[in-house]
Amino acid sequence: MKTVVRLALVDPVDSTRNALKHLLVGIDTVWLEAECSRYEFFTDVAMQTLPDIALISLDSDPAKAMALVGRISQDLPACNVLVTSSSSEGSLILQALRNGAKEFLGLPLKLEDFMTAINRIQQTHSARTGDGQVRSSQVITVCGASGGVGCTSLGINLACILARNEKNSVAVIDLDFALGDADVWLDIIPDYTIQDVAENITRLDYQLLRRSLTKHECGVFLLPRPVQLDDKLKITPDQLRRVIALLKATFTHLIVDVAKCYGPLDMAALEVSDTVLLITQLDLPCLRNVVRLMQYFDQREGLTEKIKVVVNRLGLEDTQISTSKALETIGREIFAQIPNDYAVMVEARNNGVPLVMQSPRARITRGLEQLAAGLDQANQPAKPEDDKKAGRRSLFSFLGSGSK
């Protein structure tokens, strides 16, 4: 998981403000929550957005800027103030620190200096939650080895289980623009969808994105797919990365349910994820596709290590391929196994009620709780298999023996 900090910037000088913005946009652990060109307005901006860090440039009017440093430090003690200036005069640095600034950075601002300052702040007492823990965000993308393997059902119910922990804040993004049904699983009729985000992507900010989310009573927030099928809806991979970066600044967990086409948007989601749950069943078409997908993911740097294979509907049929044969075929460990409990799952879906609320003691609910616990314990990417030859075994090699 990566720590994400929300930052507000004030600099009346257009050239240096734009240079600072350009630097910040390239840092995936920093979200530029707000920018301001007037010192006198910045306190109101900070009070509304409550950033983790206030970055104040001194050069336009050092007297006004110093007074602002003092006000922000006093009125927003949880907000850490960083100041920047092209001057390295000792008295200026001393005054800024006395007024409450945590760091003094020279202009033009260097990336390594800024990141070092952020790291120092994170290691002490900034960007922390009430229990003293640094706020982090984990992006979990759920993808399938075939259609109908249960990606949405697992993703939604996993999100609801994570949301039970009062320390967590959880959001779900439905990236299946054509046939996504995450809203059905939560019985939500949304006022806004990802289409509203797409149409306002050039002026997207935290407040606009927050209004586009719909909250379920279990605590999960949903950014659903468009209500109508519309081939004019366009979101680029870079724009999706921006949406995810903004959500990471607010939520501890993001669950992304991708489409089965593995197009540019889906791959962008996989690449920015901390964990990718590849959902499969123990049948030949699914296992064949697991091998094909892993071969494809191997071409993307750093992606294979994020993959965790999850077997869904274990025990669906007596003719299922055995777990040992599946392991031999795909050449990877199975991270979790979710038991088949078709009647319970269908009832939950038809009622639009998460399993953890409708059937908290069901086998499938317990299986998903174990999956959630496993993800909390295994924040590190999945370890690649040493023997990559195993992934190239014949898909039909096990058909000569019993499938059970």
The candidate with the shortest Cα–Cα distance to 46, out of 96, 103, 6, is 6
Number of CB atoms found within 10 A of residue 100's CB: 18
> Residue 107 pLDDT > 90, yes or no?
yes
Furthest C-alpha separation in the chain: 83
Query: What are φ and ψ of residue 146, in 5° steps?
Result: -165, 165
pLDDT (mean) for 22-46: 88
**Global pTM?**
0.70
Q: What Cα–Cα distance (Å) separates residue 49 from each residue in 118, 145, 184, 200?
A: 19, 41, 32, 19
pLDDT in tens, 118-152: 888 877 754 444 444 445 789 999 999 999 999 99
Please report the domains of the chain, with CATH numbers, ordered by start residue.
2-123 (3.40.50.2300), 136-392 (3.40.50.300)
Q: Are 163 and 219 in contact (CB under 8 A)?
A: yes
pLDDT in tens, 347-398: 999 999 999 999 999 999 999 999 999 998 765 444 444 444 444 444 444 3
pLDDT in tens, 74-97: 999 999 999 999 999 999 999 999
Amino acid identity at 261: C
